[in-house]
Amino acid sequence: MAAPTAMWPNDDESSLLETLRSPADIQNFLDAVPYSTEPVYRCPRDVVRDRLAHCFDGAVFAAAALERLGHAPLILDLRAVRDDDHVLAIYRQGRFYGALSKSNVVMLRSREPLFRGLRELVLSYFDFYYNLDGEKTLREYSRLIDLRRYERIQWRTSTDAMETLAQVLDRTPHTALLTPEQERALTPVDRRTFDAGLLGADWAGLYKPGGDKG
């Protein structure tokens, strides 16, 4: 396996990355940068430069930052119906999984490392994953994707690499969360949860059921 590119990070990037000494620091950084509504991808270096990210950019950035703390750079895709998909950076403390995430929705961000398996972690997002029609939309989750397999495309520093990683997410096998019977029995999200989850959201970046993704 190739070594990480020598170009990550440079001196200016190091001054930021050295302040990210824990998963909580990484999540605080992601929470502080604006949510990108632009139809472009940003690699970790671009996120540092632009101080802007959406969920895919944020997950790959978080994986790179976690790697600097000694974790494997892992991401996982959440697949939805009538909604945007979502991407998480996954890490472990001991036997337990946690997640970091950039999200336009309050409760789709991080999870403490308390979960014994990936399904358990993913299900913690279920009730809070809904569209503007109030439908609970999360349906599948992918296998873990170890970004060390993609050293050749220099994913930490290459904007072009992000398109390749997006294709990897699409091709990676996903596991269903619900049976057809469970899906038919779902109830809409309640109003208080709906309002709380969208607190501070950029509406331009939200999926519009029946129309284009925001």
Q: What is the pLDDT of residues 4-44, one digit of tens each?
A: 444 577 777 888 899 999 999 999 999 999 999 999 999 99
pTM as predicted: 0.94
The pair of three-digit structure tokens given for residue 108, joined into one six-digit string: 């789709």
Domains of the chain: 11-205 (3.10.620)
Distance of CA 77 to the CA centre of its chain: 7
Q: What is the pLDDT of residue 5?
A: 45
| Parallel, antiparallel or unpaired: strands 74-80 and 86-93 | antiparallel
What distances in angstroms separate CA 13 from CA 105, 107, 167, 176, one per listed residue? 27, 29, 27, 39
> Distance between CA 57 and CA 150 in Å, rounded?
16
Name the 3-class secondary structure at 177. Answer: coil
Higher pLDDT, 214 or 133: 133
Q: What is the pLDDT of residue 211?
A: 59
DSSP 206: S
Helix axes 55-68, 23-32, angle to 10 degrees: 150
Q: Is the pLDDT of residue 212 over 80?
A: no
> Distance between CA 16 and CA 4 in Å, rounded?
19
Backbone angles phi, psi at 90, to 5 degrees: -110, 140
Picking from 39, 33, 85, 84, the residue whose alpha carbon sits closest to that of residue 61 is 33
Higher pLDDT, 8 or 89: 89
pLDDT tens profile 160-187: 999 999 999 999 999 999 999 999 999 9
Q: What is the mean pLDDT of residues 53-79?
A: 97
Picking from 115, 125, 117, 135, the residue whose alpha carbon sits closest to that of residue 183 is 135
> Distance between CA 106 and CA 91 in Å, rounded?
20
Q: Is the pLDDT of residue 102 over 70?
A: yes
Q: Is the pLDDT of residue 2 over 90?
A: no
